[in-house]
Structure 1
Amino acid sequence: MPKRIAYLDLAKLWAIFLVCTGHAFQMLSVGDGAVVWRMLYTFHMALFMLMCGYFSHHALTMPFGAFVKKKALQLLVPTVAYVCLNLLATRVVTGGCPVGFIHNEAIGGMWFLRTLFACYLYAWLVLRLPGALWLRIVGSIVVALLFPHGYYLQFNYMLIFFWLGYVMKDYDGWLKAHVGGVTAASAVGFLLVPWRGPAVLTHDVLFHDPLQLPVQFVGGLSGALLSIGLLMLVCRLFRGGWKDRLADVGRYTLAIYGLQGVLLENVVVRLANIDAAVCPAGVQQFVVAPAIGAATVAVCYGIARIMKKNKVTAKVMLGG
């Protein structure tokens, strides 16, 4: 079994913590205009996809049949399972399940896993084409941006970071040797861009707002590299078993992602709301939201560890 890379597992933990923290804003009156929300939504899913691309090399060398089977079991089966749980949770909490919600879940529930599967499949095909690798990668990104409805579930934008992660694997040694400079440059880039969630890259956006893609790309890449660089430096500077214990949580990101959707987004958010009369806006975004995010990660991690002990739940819910 290949040796785990602690700083990347910690980066996964950081990313899923940001996901849970971002979703916690749905129950806060401060809303999605808060600076913390805008900051984390600038890069957190780009960070996830970057790491997925980093770890994609082995799967992308497999024969097509085995490759599709592996990724379907790993990504699509959990998608169906968690979508069904979302529908059940909605039914239990609200006493019904609106047709609109069922439609939205059927199309976009667990959207990141669906998009990741599409990126894997697309990349597998692109890597079988002739020509220089860099030319195939750039060409595939351009095609995805120009393809009608290529923006579906942010596919065309997430694909860019999938490929960056794939390429980053080959430059891992360079990154480690220059981590200080990369981290500093990333910090500058992240501070200079406007913080906001990425726009859906429709043709209208691409052709009528040409700065949107480069600006949100710089924000996503700089935030992702800043996170990875800082965690790499932390792993170098500090010793101790706490890193391995935290890194273990990062290995359950798929399950935590699915479970937080059920528990946080479809249960807690529907049952609890915090307004400014109860808690000031600053405390909401800097204390309450991160606290809810951390608690959600801890609870979902505990449930995932229990599910791992059963073969059925391990395969269906953890992609195992």
Structure 2
Amino acid sequence: MGKDRIAYLDLVKFVAILLVCIGHCYVMSPNLESSIRPIIYSFHMPLFMLLCGYFSPHSLEFSIRTLVVKKGKQLLIPVVSCTILTIVLVGGELREELIGCVWFFKTLFVCYLIAKVTKCVKIPIEITFLLSWVVLLFIPFGGTLMINFLYFYFCMGYLIHKYQNAFQAYKFFLFCISLFFFSLSICMNWTVPCDKVDINLLINSPMTFFIQIFVGLSGAIVVIGICELIYKFFGKKRIAENILSKLSIIGRYTLGIYVVQTFIIERSVTKYIKLNEVIISSTFTDFIFIPLIGFVLCLICYYIVCLTQPIKIINILFYGNQQ
């Protein structure tokens, strides 16, 4: 990944959090047979985890104790704060919120911890990552928070960073292959995500297992490649550069936006607003109306983060003490 790595990867982060917001907005229209939502859900969390893995090498150099403390402050404190606030103020069910509230932070924390432990083993990291993923597939309830599914992408992100010079040489080829496979997956309806990608799926339906894995990987690579191409061809045009710069800035606040959308989108808008009647047509609702709502709500969440982040206690409890 080249000189503009930070710029276009911030844009990728924006796209990733935007897809989260849009995906959650489809709950407003439960009767809609969406064509877009399954596609989003097939790769948007793998994309997030791939990015986290890519930026993980520095953190994984810390001692286990330091890593637990730092990532605990960044990820687990917001988990506790959001869960308590959701139960007390929003009235969420205790068991459901303990498991599901800002679940991605819990999964990411576990991925960091497992990756750090595997790095301590004195054999090549490529082997330990593979072995730890296989072992993780066997752990009961590993699919509850998609840990055994998403850990693969965390490892892939780390390895892409480690071998970025090699990937740089073949990135266009990988992009084309990924684009072909992801397009084929959409046409073949392979993007409908499974409930759990675990050892049972691997044993009972190995083809489905590997398709799900590669759909997530190819979708993530396609988004990263498209964002890089957009920056390469439009990043130096004044109007486009201004727009891309603003979107990239939003991408730097994904952790905060993810927290805020939990309350704004998941616990408020989609809970109380139901589009029982399809707006104009199902196609319009699926391809334009709900994505537009998701985009607007994503911007609202971003501005809420900007307004509240200077408040120290909110910054610590909900945004992982972001700077």
TM-score greater than 0.5 by the shorter chain: yes
The 1:72–1:269 alpha-carbon spacing in structure 2 relative to 1, beyond 3 Å, is same
Q: Secondary structure at the match of 2:192?
A: coil
Letter in 2 for 1:284: T
Alignment of 1:165 with 2:157, yes or no, is yes
Q: Do the aligned residues in 1 keep the contact of 2:118 with 2:125 (CA within 8 Å)?
A: no
Matched AA of 2:82: Y
Q: How does 1:143-162 map to 2 (within 5 A)?
A: 143-162=135-154
Map 1:100-111 onto structure 2 (within 5 A).
101-111=93-103
Deviation string, structure 1 residues 17-53 (Cα, Å, up to 9, x no partner): 111111111011444x411011111100000000000
User: 1:208-253: per-residue Cα shift (whole Å, max 9, x none)?
Assistant: 1122220101100000000000101111112223322211101111
Matched, 1:182 2:137: no
Structure 1 position 293, deviation (Å): 1.0
Q: Which residue of 2 aligns with 1:53?
A: 53
Contact residue 89 and residue 262 of structure 1 kept, 8 A:
no
Relative distance call for 1:73 and 1:277 in structure 2 (3 A) is closer
SS at match of 1:153: coil
- Structure 1 counterpart of 2:23: 22
Tell me what 1:62 maps to. Answer: 62
CA distance in 2, matches of 1:180, 1:203: 33
Partner of residue 86, structure 1: 86
Is contact 2:149-2:198 (8 Å) kept?
no
Task: Work out the percentage of aligned pairs sharing the same amino acid.
Answer: 32
Opposite residue 105 of structure 1, the aligned amino acid is E
CA distances 1:172-226 after superposition (whole Å, capped 9, x unpaired) = 2343444432222111010122111243134432221122220101100000000
Matches of 2:95 and 2:53 in 1, distance apart? 30
How many pairs were matched up? 310
Structure 2 counterpart SS, 1:57 = coil
* Cα distance in structure 1, aligned partners of 2:26 and 2:16: 16
Deviation at 1:303, TM superposition (A): 0.8
For residue 94 of structure 1, what is the aligned residue in structure 2?
none
Q: 8 Å contact 2:279–2:285 — kept in the other structure?
A: no
Counterpart position of 1:237: 233
Q: TM-score, normalised by structure 1?
A: 0.92
For each residue in 1:264-300, what CA deviation from the matched residue of structure 2 results, as whole angstroms up to 9, or x when unmatched? Answer: 1111112211133543211111111111110111011
| Residues 186, 222 of structure 1: 8 Å contact kept | yes
1:306 CA drift (Å): 1.4
After superposition, the Cα gap between the structure-2 partners of 1:199 and 1:306, relative to the gap in structure 1 and judged at 3 Å, is same
Q: Which runs of 5+ in 2 are unaligned?
A: none
String of CA shifts for 1:73-132, please: whole Å, max 9, x gaps.
0000111122223234533xxxxx5xxx22110122111100000000011100000112
Query: Which position in structure 2 is the counterpart of 1:213?
Result: 209
Q: Calculate the TM-score normalised by the size of structure 2.
A: 0.91
Gap change, CA 1:277 and 1:71, over 3 Å in 2: closer
Q: How far apart, CA to CA, are the structure 2 residues paired with 1:277 and 1:212?
A: 32
Letter in 1 for 2:72: A
Shift of the 280–60 alpha-carbon distance from structure 1 to 2, 3 Å rule, reads: same
Give the aligned residue type for 1:52: C
Check conservation: 2:10, 2:249, Cα contact below 8 A.
yes
- Give the unaligned 5+ runs of structure 1: 92-96
**Cα separation, 1, equivalents of 2:5 and 2:75:** 21
Residue of structure 1 equivalent to 2:125:
133
Distance 1:87 1:214 in 2: 38
Q: 1:277 to 1:289 in 2, by over 3 A?
A: closer
Q: What is the distance in 1 between the residues matched to 2:87 and 2:284?
A: 32
Q: For residues 247 and 58 of structure 1, what CA distance do their matches in structure 2 show?
A: 22
SS at match of 1:45: helix
Structure-2 separation of matches of 1:119 and 1:236: 32
Q: How far apart, CA to CA, are the structure 1 residues paired with 2:73 and 2:13?
A: 21
Q: Distance in 1 between matches of 2:278 and 2:205?
A: 39
